[in-house]
Structure 1
Amino acid sequence: MGVDCLFTNLGSDHPAFIEAFAALDAEGAAMPRVIVCPHEMTALSAAHGHAMRSGRAQMVLVHVDVGTQNLGSSIHNAARGRVPAIVVAGLSPVTVGGGRAGARTEFIHYTQDTPRQHEIVGPYVKWSYELRAGEMVDQVLLRGMQLACTEPAGPVYLTGAREVWEEPAAAPAQALPDWAPARGAGLPQEAARDLAQALWGARRPLVITSYLGRQPEAAALLAELSSRMGLAVSEVNPQYVNCPGDHPNHVGYRRNALLDEADLVLMLDVDVPWIPGQAAPRPDARLFHIDCDPLKPGLGFWHFPAERRWQADSLAVLRQLLDLPVLTGGVGRAQREAWIADARGRLALPDLPAAPDGGINLQQLSEAVARLVGERTVVLFESPTATERVLHTLRMARPGSYYANGGSGLGWGINAAIGVKLADPQAEVITLVGDGSYVFGVPSSTYWVGETYGAPQLTVVFNNGGWNAPKASTLLVHPQGTARQRDRYWTTTTARARLADIAAAAGGAAAFRVSRASELDATLRQALETVRGGRSAVVDVVLPPISGQVLGPP
């Protein structure tokens, strides 16, 4: 089925699995690679990264209810990112007599017997199912994979009691092609012609996208369509390269930008195209939405207006639009591109003020990282409040060279990097994370796994002494409030931490710390050479602190 790796955190519900692994290993039989993960955040996030890179769902084994709970925000991330994964958890055995293999043998089989274990992940999975007969295991697994990989993709959750896993049973033979995922399609031909006519007739057409690039070919086709028609392209919180960042019609990564100017907005695989409380399209703008998930039933309240909304495969739609003839009349492409060029100039970011005492600011760090990017580089990004500056600086252009979390559960990046590296051993993985994201990722697990299974990464920690997102949220709501006046946010959680040393202790990573701009390039180059030699490196980059508040006893 394309499962290369079983990302595991094994427990008392897994004797059948462990025995099967041992038997297969003894026979020299083909089997997926078993990746032991000390924490479940690593397991599912690594599977997430592998699936983004390979396009194939991977499997995660976790331990009953407690292991399922330890998945934490990683299950949210897979759901919101529409990334397929098969999560398998055991259930406590139910039999107590001892006459059946797998019956209760430990006290925890009582305390872990949770009546509704599947509800722990219920809001975030496409399907959950309890295996009740050993002979059905192949068919249940195949159905789970089929559902996980059908768009909109996402995780599924399978469970089974220990007695069921222990059953000796011959599964009926299955024809794998019969279990292929359902495939999306394009637009009805009349709808495609109407959309093309609207695009050609617009004076200032704007495309907004976030996850179109999960199919790398779609990013190239969007660039081609943009060049042909003169379409401005904006990427908001992109999870992939959706259009090459160096394309002349790419207007950047700033949410809400150009909404008040565009007379046509095409939303293309995007969840939040703008923030309604901050911006709105022109009253006369024509709005269209094409998406694998156009109504977002997995979310609570959600609505963005559109005169036409289609659930469709955006790659197929782009092919349709490119197959249609070029239309003449109306505003010419040159006029649209003149507007785009002018907008790019207006949307350029101003330089940041220099950091005091020869320190490092976010602009200098972004530019230094950009100088590391090469033909084999794959960047994983998870530093939310640095998004606009970093993406505008990097302008990642090669489809498949950039990935970000589709959810908001921080800690994804350093672990997803393991999956990307396992899926593509030739990739040179650079992970950019905020200090909060780094800590939430359980680095004591991450770097042990990376070292054990040969998946080195260069991690660059944007260390501003704390978690900046709550401060930013507070200032949006209380811009002149007491918190700002007194510099009190209670978020300076990494102000005295030696973050890189965690990775060194856990997995033998090379630990670096740099606080002066004059030493930044040399430190990053040295760290990258370490990674090229097969060893992870973590560079703790000290940035201006978000707050002067000191936490601790009075």
Structure 2
Amino acid sequence: MNPQDPLPAPPTAARRLLEEAGRLGVATIFTNLGSDHPAFIEAFAAIEARGGTMPEIIVCPHEMTALSAAHGYAMATGRAQMVLVHVDVGTQNLGCSIHNAARGRVPAIVVAGLSPVSTSGERTGARTEFIHYTQDSTRQHEIGGQYMKWSYEVRAAEMIDQVLLRGLQIATSVPAGPVYLTGAREVWEEPAGAAPQAPEHWRPPGSTCLPDDAVRTLHAALWAAERPLLITSYLGRQPEAVDALAELAERIGIAVCEVNPQYVNCPGDHPHHVGYRRNSLVDEADLILMIDVDVPWIVARVQPRADARLFHIDCDVLKASMGFWHFPAEASWQADSLAALRQLLALPSPAEAGQARGARTAWIADARRRLVMPDMPTPANDAINIQQLSEAIAALLNERSIVVFEEPTATDRVLYTLRMRRPGSYFANGGSGLGWSINAAIGLKLACPDAEVITLVGDGSYVFGVPSSTYWVTETYRTPQLTIVFNNGGWNAPKASTLLVHPDGTAKRNDRYWITTSARARLADIAAAAGGAAAFRVERASELAATLAEALACVRAGRSAVVDVVTLPISAQVLGEAQSSARRVGHDPSPTHASRTPA
């Protein structure tokens, strides 16, 4: 530190934002810098030179890494982190990570620059480069506007404290989500000497409980039901709610189904846990309690009984940010699920509870037997199927493990095998923007430095995650993860969707899906090249356990490892084959001098 280094006095708006963010509990700023950020870069350097405090700066080569890592951090802690991106193009590069943060209801503060508007050069930060003209868009905030809870332009430097506090207040209020702040280069350079605000005056609104009459109605209905079913996806965002749900399910005798869980919502080994398969028992239950869930069942596949009583408790009960959405309920309440569970637990059991509970638990036990997933056939030639891979992963887990999951078409099998039980040990994307997991793992590792982070990701999702960015960050900022790639040779989801719509169509008969995008790719080598990760590729079941153990040892030694596990292929179609044959017609068929050497 050089004490002679000058500091602006009063600080610039950019520096004020950094220092105020740290004071408000923002631990990390994930950033991809551009020409709109000289004020921030100067503030970074000035604070560092004077030994001041600010959030840790994590430079991300791609914006998908930045917001997804902030997403992971927020899931583990509940605290919003900051993402600093470059004008319109950096905002566009956030891509589907904005959708994921919105649908996952996680708080984040996204800060983007605006092109400077002044051209004379009299103001600090005025236009100095040609891109300040081409990047000056008319409605930058609309790029991701429908996914942001709030968008606002900082127009006066002295307002930066209050704008940040309002942004945090909105981002962390229930349902949580991202907010988007912008400011022109000139504004970030202006002095901001306003008096500090009192954070306690900017707290988000308190959580809501169920009305007393609602608690009594729901409690009586649960005890009167013969086959009560509870469906949830993200109740476990509050870890205390997991034990509360388990206690209520045990006391009354309620079947619990987790559908596309984003967290551990109920211990996977609980005797009333009936699995992870959507639509299960929906047509059998005479009462369905939906708690913190977006899609409890697929209407085209299953319907509740005509006489079933349906109730819904959710932090986002109307899903107002979605388009068309409706699931029937005789009563629905926007309420805090933990508070609601505690209210139900506080009421005494009815006098005749014993006999009725016995009948309910007998139904649950029978349902669990019927919902057992049959073993998959053992593949020939020592090949690997999803069950073998899931079982090998289960053998790796311990009390320090955090599993980050993004393998959409293998969800039922993997979760059925792992049966995650510890709150805070499992996280998945609440949205559908693929590429989230390998980057969210960075934020989870920063938030939980003692954890062993194991990312389970499909080959398509791995590529969408921009691994050349991810593994540079993991190496640079010492956030090692074990990544296990489920490599079935392409995108299985489009094939599954096609078969749902055209189960006997031409695509199925001819095995023509145009999805084999990962065939022949050396996926782990991307991570090795970008960030020095240990790269493994395994194609034989007999070598799977040893390879995973070796890779985990690398992670424990502080180095990320990626294991590219080649599973049974989803299609034999060779992309480009027909087109290449057509292009070769009439051309010299003699071989070229190029050669291909196996990696």
TM over 0.5: yes
Residue 301 of structure 1 corresponds to which residue in structure 2? 324
Given residue 197 of structure 1, which amino acid in structure 2 is its aligned partner? Answer: A
1:71-109 CA-partner distances (Å, limit 9, x unpaired) = 000000000000000000000000000000010000000
Residue 388 of structure 1 corresponds to which residue in structure 2? 412
Q: How many residues align?
A: 554
Among candidates 160, 176, 180, match of residue 183 of structure 2? 160
Among candidates 365, 389, 396, match of residue 365 of structure 1? 389
CA distance in 1, matches of 2:206, 2:468: 40
How far is the alpha carbon of 1:169 from its aligned partner? 1.9
Residue 276 of structure 1 corresponds to which residue in structure 2? 299
Report the 3-state secondary structure (helix = DSSP H, G, I; strand = E; otherwise coil) of the residue aligned with 1:332.
helix
CA distance in 2, matches of 1:153, 1:98: 41
Given residue 261 of structure 1, which amino acid in structure 2 is its aligned partner? Answer: E
Report the 3-state secondary structure (helix = DSSP H, G, I; strand = E; otherwise coil) of the residue aligned with 1:432.
strand
How far is the alpha carbon of 1:328 from its aligned partner? 2.9
CA distance in 2, matches of 1:304, 1:279: 12
Among candidates 350, 354, 367, match of residue 378 of structure 2? 354
1:300-344 CA-partner distances (Å, limit 9, x unpaired) = 000000000000000100110111111133762111111101101
Residue 477 of structure 2 corresponds to which residue in structure 1? 453
1:393-424 CA-partner distances (Å, limit 9, x unpaired) = 00000000000000000000000000000011
Q: Is the 8 A contact 2:112 2:180 kept in 1?
A: yes
Report the 3-state secondary structure (helix = DSSP H, G, I; strand = E; otherwise coil) of the residue aligned with 2:542.
helix
Residue 227 of structure 2 corresponds to which residue in structure 1? 204
CA distance in 2, matches of 1:169, 1:440: 40
Given residue 454 of structure 1, which amino acid in structure 2 is its aligned partner? Answer: R
Given residue 316 of structure 2, which amino acid in structure 1 is its aligned partner? Answer: D
How far is the alpha carbon of 1:356 from its aligned partner? 2.2
CA distance in 2, matches of 1:152, 1:55: 12
Does structure 1 residue 419 correspond to structure 2 residue 429? no
Q: Which piece of structure 1 moves more, 366-375 or 177-186?
A: 177-186
Report the 3-state secondary structure (helix = DSSP H, G, I; strand = E; otherwise coil) of the residue aligned with 1:31.
coil
Q: Which piece of structure 1 moves more, 322-331 or 236-245?
A: 322-331
Residue 562 of structure 2 corresponds to which residue in structure 1? 538
CA distance in 1, matches of 2:286, 2:351: 18
CA distance in 1, matches of 2:575, 2:397: 37
Question: Structure 1 regions of 5+ residues with no counterpart?
Answer: none
1:59-458 alignment runs, 5 A limit: 59-329=82-352, 332-458=356-482
Report the 3-state secondary structure (helix = DSSP H, G, I; strand = E; otherwise coil) of the residue aligned with 1:24.
helix
Given residue 128 of structure 1, which amino acid in structure 2 is its aligned partner? Answer: S
Q: Which piece of structure 1 moves more, 39-48 or 178-187?
A: 178-187
Percentage of matched positions with identical amino acids: 75
Residue 25 of structure 1 corresponds to which residue in structure 2? 48
CA distance in 2, matches of 1:42, 1:173: 32
Does structure 1 residue 52 correspond to structure 2 residue 78? no
Question: Structure 2 regions of 5+ residues with no counterpart?
Answer: 1-23, 582-599
Does structure 1 residue 492 correspond to structure 2 residue 497? no
Given residue 547 of structure 2, which amino acid in structure 1 is its aligned partner? Answer: T
Report the 3-state secondary structure (helix = DSSP H, G, I; strand = E; otherwise coil) of the residue aligned with 1:252.
coil
How far is the alpha carbon of 1:260 from its aligned partner? 1.0
CA distance in 2, matches of 1:355, 1:440: 29
Among candidates 26, 39, 44, match of residue 62 of structure 2? 39
Report the 3-state secondary structure (helix = DSSP H, G, I; strand = E; otherwise coil) of the residue aligned with 1:351.
coil
How far is the alpha carbon of 1:386 from its aligned partner? 0.3
Does structure 1 residue 7 correspond to structure 2 residue 30? yes
CA distance in 2, matches of 1:88, 1:30: 19
CA distance in 2, matches of 1:258, 1:369: 29
1:223-270 CA-partner distances (Å, limit 9, x unpaired) = 011011111000000000000001000000000000111000000000
1:274-321 CA-partner distances (Å, limit 9, x unpaired) = 000000100000000000000101000000000000000001001101
Report the 3-state secondary structure (helix = DSSP H, G, I; strand = E; otherwise coil) of the residue aligned with 1:295.
coil
Q: Is the 8 A contact 2:160 2:192 kept in 1?
A: no
Please identify the structure whose Cα radius of gyration is greater.
2
Give the ranges of 4+ consecutive aligned residues of structure 1 lying more than 6 Å apart after TM superposition: none
Residue 4 of structure 2 corresponds to which residue in structure 1? none
CA distance in 2, matches of 1:384, 1:376: 24
Report the 3-state secondary structure (helix = DSSP H, G, I; strand = E; otherwise coil) of the residue aligned with 2:422.
coil
Q: Is the 8 A contact 2:104 2:430 kept in 1?
A: yes
Report the 3-state secondary structure (helix = DSSP H, G, I; strand = E; otherwise coil) of the residue aligned with 1:218.
helix
1:200-224 CA-partner distances (Å, limit 9, x unpaired) = 1100000000000000000110001
